[in-house]
Amino acid sequence: MALYIGRYALMLAGVAFLLWYSKSHTEEAGKTTIYFVLCTLPIALAWTVAETVAWNRDLRRGGLINKGTVLGVRQLPPE
């Protein structure tokens, strides 16, 4: 749950910073946006990996996937 809420908190903080910075540095707004996107992409990738690991751990605890499964996406057991 913390990962879910934290994602939106970080996104809002990033957008607020970008808006604040672009108002005070109007001549550099384009460069700032590019840098922000380039710095955010690796964070978003790491965030996705962390969520996948947490999701798989929860599925393993619930007995829905095997221990060796890397990317388990099943939510319900087979019928």
Q: What is the pLDDT along the chain (79 residues), one digit of tens a residue?
A: 676 787 788 878 888 887 888 788 777 777 877 877 888 888 888 887 888 888 888 878 887 777 776 665 655 555 5
Residue 20 within any structural domain of the chain: yes
User: Tell me, what's the pLDDT at 54?
Assistant: 82
For residues 57 and 50, is the Cβ–Cβ distance under 8 A? no
Claim: this prediction has a pTM higher than 0.85: no
Q: Among positive and negative, which fits the CA dihedral 7, 11, 14, 16? A: negative
Tell me the C-alpha distance between 18 and 14, whole Å. Answer: 6
Residue 68 within any structural domain of the chain: no
Number of domains in the chain: 1
At 13, list the tokens.
């903080």
Contacts of 3 by beta carbon, 8 Å cutoff, 6+ apart: 47, 50, 51, 54
Residue 8: domain span: 2-61
